[in-house]
């Protein structure tokens, strides 16, 4: 048996977060689990999922950054560690993920921030996902998702309180 991260759709991710909260009603948790298992494997297209078309260097970097989205490592540093050229890594990221390293890393950090925003203040989330200043995080988050992290967190609090309901508008 192999353990690995799998892509899941937004609804399943919301349900996982909801049933992971302390004090979750057992009946609702079991219903949520059944809904998650029914939809497992239906990937959400906006995630930075690999395409397995490159040399594997980008995937090596991605695995490391998924464990620590705040890692400040630049592509030049990764190239030195992996004994390849920066250009090779740039091409590999586009082949593997369909986007440049900097864009992929930003999306990874912003995706990670959505989970943290449900329980942590914006400034702490910004720091934990690798932004030097909360203002830079707020700008990037708003550009990506169309609302501020504070509004997203407020809407997530409403969604998490009732896992049986659909996602809020995200305003």
Considering the domain architecture, whether residues 30 and 101 belong to the same structural domain is answered as no
Section 140-163 average pLDDT: 80
Residues in contact with 8: Cβ distance below 8 Å, sequence separation at least 6, in sequence order: 16, 36, 39, 40, 41, 42, 43, 44
- CATH for 66: 1.10.10.60
- Chain segment 52-72, per-residue pLDDT in tens: 555 788 988 998 998 899 999
Mean pLDDT (the chain) is 79
Section 78-96 average pLDDT: 93
Q: Which residue has the tokens 């992996």?
A: 82
- Quote the number of domains for the chain: 2
Q: What predicted TM-score, i.e. pTM, was given to this entire model?
A: 0.64
Other beta carbons within 10 angstroms of residue 169's beta carbon come to 9
> Is residue 171 included in any domain, yes or no?
no
Cα–Cα dist 17/6, whole Å: 15
> Is residue 26 included in any domain, yes or no?
yes
Give the structural domain span for 32.
7-45
Q: How many residues does the chain have?
A: 171
Section 71-93 average pLDDT: 94
| 8 A C-beta contact, residue 32 and residue 163 | yes
Considering the domain architecture, whether residues 41 and 82 belong to the same structural domain is answered as no
**CA distances to 43, 90, 102, 103 from 99, in Å:** 18, 9, 8, 6
**161 has pLDDT over 50:** no
> Is residue 167 included in any domain, yes or no?
no
- Chain segment 99-145, per-residue pLDDT in tens: 999 999 999 999 999 989 988 999 999 999 999 999 999 999 999 99
What tokens were used for 144? 């990506």
Section 13-41 average pLDDT: 72
| 8 A C-beta contact, residue 44 and residue 114 | no
Residue 97: alpha-carbon gap to chain centroid = 14
Considering the domain architecture, whether residues 107 and 29 belong to the same structural domain is answered as no
The reported pLDDT for the residue numbered 26 is 78
Considering the domain architecture, whether residues 115 and 34 belong to the same structural domain is answered as no
Considering the domain architecture, whether residues 96 and 18 belong to the same structural domain is answered as no
Handedness of CA 83, 86, 90, 93 (dihedral sign): positive
């Amino acid at each position: 048996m192999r353990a690995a991260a799998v892509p899941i759709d937004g609804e399943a991710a919301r349900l996982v977060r909801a049933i992971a909260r302390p004090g979750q009603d057992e009946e609702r948790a079991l219903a949520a689990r059944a809904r998650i298992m029914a939809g497992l494997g239906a990937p959400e297209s906006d995630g930075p999922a690999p395409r397995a078309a490159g040399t594997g260097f980008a995937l090596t970097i991605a695995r490391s950054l998924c464990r620590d989205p705040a890692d400040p490592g630049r592509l030049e540093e990764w190239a030195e560690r992996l004994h390849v050229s920066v250009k090779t890594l740039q091409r590999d990221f586009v082949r593997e993920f369909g986007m440049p390293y900097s864009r992929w890393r930003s999306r990874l950090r912003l995706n990670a921030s959505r989970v943290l925003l449900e329980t942590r203040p914006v400034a702490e989330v910004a720091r934990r996902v690798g932004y030097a200043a909360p203002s830079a995080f707020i700008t990037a988050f708003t550009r990506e998702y169309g609302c501020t992290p504070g509004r997203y967190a407020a809407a997530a609090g409403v969604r998490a309180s009732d896992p049986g309901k659909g996602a809020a508008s995200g305003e």
